[in-house]
Amino acid sequence: MENNSLDVNVELNMEVSQAGELTHTRISELGKLTRVGSSTYLRFNEKLENNDQAKIMVKVADNGEIHLKRVAEATNLASLLYFTNQEHNSGHLQTEYGIMPLQTFTRNSQVEILDRPLSGKINIDYDLIYDNNIVGNYKFRLIFKA
C-alpha cells in the first residue's frame, strides 16, 4: 500500500465546549488514505454552508504525533494543529487579517490502524489555547474503513 491512495469512508464526530456552550459536529464523507514512508495521511472534505467546503488532512506520524490541517478557502481560514499525547504543541490559525498563534494541550490521544480489513480510529481530547488562555475543550473522534 506504499504511496497508494485508497478510498475510505470517514466519520468524524467533534464535541466542542467553549464559553459554557457545547456543540457537536458530525461529518460523514468519502476520503482518501495514503501511506508515505511510515506516515499515514487521511484526506476528506467538510461540507459548509452555501455549497462551500473545507479540506481536511489528518497525518499520523511514525512517532505518534498527529497533525490536523483544515483549509476553508471560501472563508479565508486555515488552521494547522499538532497533537502529542500529554504535551503542549504550537500551531496556528491563518485568517484574512493575519496569523494567530495557537497552542494545543493533548490530554489524551489514541490511534489504531488495522491493515486487514483496512480500518482505524483516531481519538484526540485536547484544549485549544490562545494567548495562554484555554478557549475551548475538544473531543475529536474519527473512524475510517475501506
Which residues lie below 8 Å from residue 70, measured CB to CB, with a gap of 6+? 46, 54, 55, 56, 57, 77, 78, 79
Per-chain mean pLDDT for the chain: 94
Give the pLDDT confidence of 90-115 residue by residue, as tens digits: 999 999 999 999 999 999 999 999 98
CB atoms within 10 A of CB 96: 7
The CATH number given to whatever domain includes residue 99 is: 2.40.128.20
The tens-digit pLDDT sequence of the chain (146 residues) is: 445 899 999 999 999 999 999 999 999 999 999 999 999 999 999 998 888 999 999 999 988 899 999 999 988 999 999 999 999 999 999 999 999 999 999 999 999 999 899 999 999 999 999 999 999 999 999 999 99
CA 80 and chain centroid, separation: 9
What pLDDT score does 3 carry? 55
What pLDDT score does 120 carry? 96
pTM of the predicted structure, to 2 decimals: 0.93
The span from the CA of 85 to the CA of 15, in Å, is 18
Coil/strand/helix, residue 52: coil
State how many domains the chain has: 1
- Domain with 125, as residue range(s), is 5-145
